[in-house]
């Protein structure tokens, strides 16, 4: 992609309305454009990153056997009256009346809609478990939308729902999602810690929030530091393996302020292991048994001829919030350098030729390199403008392709100035550069 043809409206300075660095950067490089309070258009750069995140989320859902569906954004109030949440949900729900005077709403979440789908088709325990998910826009009329897409009113979420025959089976499903979340965030190159959470308006008895550390986060967190050393690399999808994985995480104290108990924290966690800081909630999972299935009559035939209500859980990931969360984790604000993880980067590499008025050789060279990179499935952006060199570098540092090739005045010869964005320059031939990036991509 040539920068001169792209729709990447970069601003010279930080927009004053943005209080945190993700919001600043997203406006600065034109990833989003505010439409009204808490509602945004996604411009090419932002959209590209969000779609890549969405795809990683999708792959990891599919890997645990979840099936993708797509439910509508607009729902009927009827099902919400059945569950009792039409009244309970309060002012965050955007209520709409259609021309027939029917009460509709813009879905803030989909427990009711998915339970309605389930109950009309699945009648026997033989069809269980079912794991269904969708990736769809949600609307919540947040009282204080802020920090750009971090707390929007309209936002993009992956929400999944599990249906099982017993508590035991349902916890097995819960643990599958637990693992899939750890894997998803790892692929996004984030360290997200599962923390015991309150179940809030969703209801139920077991819940974890997945939190990444960030000074600008809205959640206050209290943890045993050692939880950060854990990983799920040796976990497979067998029941026992998943049980062990969750136990491994749950052995360490890790809660947000809603569940915080000072006495307990100080008793359980040695002083040297205590960490009190802030974080961003990027995912939230719940087990709530038959709360919705009972209220909405979603039952299945059991082996002996009896019937029982299915046991359900729900599992959300803030796909649009993740764009901001990754920036909070990766953006070097002081030096104005963004380096996207390769798994979600809008471009793999930026080519920055220094262009003189009467000499096209650097641009020609950039185009040749580009062709070679494209052949190797490496996505590039070339700054083909005639701006001065330092503002070109500045701009590309903000756009944040993880690698850069710089073509300066002396550009003959086979060695290229190559670097990881923000890192040291190395002189390497093109084939070596292709090898480095390809290897990195294959390891995602
Ligand atoms: P929060 O405590 O941040 O309001 P929540 O507990 O209401 O989150 P869930 O209903 O569990 O959130 O939604 C699942 C995920 O959707 C959250 O973990 C978060 O990443 C994301 N999310 C929730 N509300 C918003 C919002 N207003 N804007 C952007 N993302 C959101
Ligand atoms: Mg909320």
- Domain membership flag for residue 248: yes
Number of domains comprising the chain: 2
Q: Are residues 304 and 415 in the same domain?
A: no
Measured CA to CA, the distance from residue 248 to residue 234 in angstroms comes to 12
Compute how many other C-beta atoms are within 10 angstroms of the C-beta atom of residue 66: 23
* pLDDT average, residue stretch 118-126: 97
Helix (H, G, I), strand (E, B) or coil at 14: coil
- Domain membership flag for residue 158: yes
* pLDDT average, residue stretch 74-80: 98
Q: Are residues 283 and 426 in the same domain?
A: no
- The pLDDT tens digits for 132-175 are 999 999 999 999 999 999 999 999 999 999 999 999 999 999 99
Q: Are residues 414 and 272 in the same domain?
A: no
Say how many Å lie between the CA of residue 151 and the centre of ligand 2. 9
- Domain membership flag for residue 4: no
- Domain membership flag for residue 44: yes
Q: Are residues 131 and 187 in the same domain?
A: yes
Give the end of a domain, one of 305, 330, 355: 330
- Domain membership flag for residue 232: yes
- The pLDDT tens digits for 187-217 are 999 999 999 887 666 556 799 999 999 988 9
Helix (H, G, I), strand (E, B) or coil at 220: strand
Helix (H, G, I), strand (E, B) or coil at 361: helix
pLDDT at 53 over 70: yes
pTM, whole model, 2 decimals? 0.96
Q: b/e per residue, 371-397, with b = 16+ CB within 10 A?
A: eebeeeebbbbbbbeeeeeeebbbbbb
- The pLDDT tens digits for 219-256 are 999 999 999 999 999 999 999 999 999 999 999 999 99
In this structure, the strands spanning 254-256 and 274-289 are unpaired
Give the tokens for residue 256: 């947000």
Say how many Å lie between the CA of residue 134 and the centre of ligand 1. 15
CATH label of the domain that carries residue 426: 3.40.50.800
The preferred substitution site among 280, 318, 327, 328 for testing ligand 1, maximizing ligand atoms within 8 Å of CB, is 318
Say how many Å lie between the CA of residue 404 and the centre of ligand 2. 39
- Domain membership flag for residue 309: yes
Give the end of a domain, one of 277, 295, 330: 330
How large a percentage of the chain has pLDDT more than 90? Answer: 91
**Domain containing 389: what range?**
347-442
Q: Tell which residue, 10, 20, 19, 17, has the closest CA to residue 325.
A: 20
In the structure, what pLDDT confidence band is assigned to residue 102 with cuts at 50, 70 and 90? very high
Q: Are residues 245 and 379 in the same domain?
A: no
The H-or-E segment that residue 250 falls in is helix 239-250
What does the mean pLDDT of the chain come to? 95
Q: Are residues 223 and 325 in the same domain?
A: yes
- Domain membership flag for residue 339: no
Atom number in ligand 1 closest to CA 197: 6
Atom number in ligand 1 closest to CA 322: 20
**Per-residue pLDDT at 408:** 84
**Per-residue pLDDT at 419:** 97
**Per-residue pLDDT at 200:** 63
Helix (H, G, I), strand (E, B) or coil at 185: helix
Give the end of a domain, one of 304, 330, 356: 330
Q: Tell which residue, 345, 369, 420, 49, has the closest CA to residue 382.
A: 369
Q: Whose CA is nearest to atom 22 of ligand 1?
A: 318
In this structure, the strands spanning 206-213 and 192-196 are antiparallel
């Amino acid at each position: 992609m040539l920068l001169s043809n792209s729709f990447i409206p970069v601003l010279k300075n930080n927009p004053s309305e943005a209080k945190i660095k993700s919001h600043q950067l997203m406006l600065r490089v034109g990833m989003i454009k505010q439409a009204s309070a808490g509602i945004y258009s996604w411009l090419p750069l932002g959209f590209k990153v969000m779609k890549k995140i969405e795809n990683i989320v999708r792959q990891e859902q599919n890997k645990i056997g979840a099936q993708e569906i797509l439910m509508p954004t607009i729902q009927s109030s009827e099902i919400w009256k059945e569950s009792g949440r039409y009244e309970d949900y309060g002012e965050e729900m955007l209520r709409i009346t259609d021309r027939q005077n029917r009460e509709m709403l813009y879905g803030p979440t989909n427990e009711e809609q998915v339970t309605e789908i389930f109950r009309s088709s699945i009648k026997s325990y033989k069809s269980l478990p079912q794991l269904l998910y969708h990736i769809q826009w949600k609307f919540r009329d947040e009282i204080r939308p802020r920090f750009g897409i971090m707390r929007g009113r309209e936002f993009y979420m992956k929400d999944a729902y599990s249906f099982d025959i017993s508590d035991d089976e349902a916890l097995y499903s819960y643990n599958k999602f637990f693992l899939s979340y750890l894997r998803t965030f790892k692929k996004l190159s984030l360290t997200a810690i599962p923390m015991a959470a309150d179940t809030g308006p969703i209801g139920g008895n077991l819940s974890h929030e997945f939190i990444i550390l960030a000074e600008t986060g809205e959640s206050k967190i209290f943890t045993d530091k050692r939880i950060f050393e854990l990983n799920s690399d040796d976990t497979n999808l067998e029941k026992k393996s998943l049980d062990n994985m969750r136990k491994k995480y749950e052995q360490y104290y890790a809660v947000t302020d809603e569940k915080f108990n000072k006495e307990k924290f100080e008793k359980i966690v040695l002083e040297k292991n205590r960490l009190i800081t802030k974080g961003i909630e990027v995912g939230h999972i719940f087990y709530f048994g038959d709360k919705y299935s009972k209220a909405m009559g979603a039952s299945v035939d059991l082996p002996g001829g009896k019937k029982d209500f299915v046991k359900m859980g729900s599992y959300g990931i803030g796909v649009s919030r993740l764009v901001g969360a990754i920036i909070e984790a990766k953006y070097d604000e002081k030096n104005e350098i963004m380096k996207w993880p390769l798994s979600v980067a809008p471009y793999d590499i930026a080519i920055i030729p220094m262009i003189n008025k009467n000499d096209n050789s650097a641009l020609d060279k950039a185009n040749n390199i580009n062709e070679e990179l494209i052949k190797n499935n490496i996505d590039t952006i070339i700054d083909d403008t005639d701006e001065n060199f330092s503002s070109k570098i500045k701009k590309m540092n903000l756009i944040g392709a993880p690698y850069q090739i710089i073509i300066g005045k002396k550009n003959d010869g086979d060695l290229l100035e190559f670097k990881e964005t923000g890192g040291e320059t190395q002189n390497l031939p093109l084939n070596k550069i292709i090898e480095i990036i390809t290897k990195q991509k294959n390891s995602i």
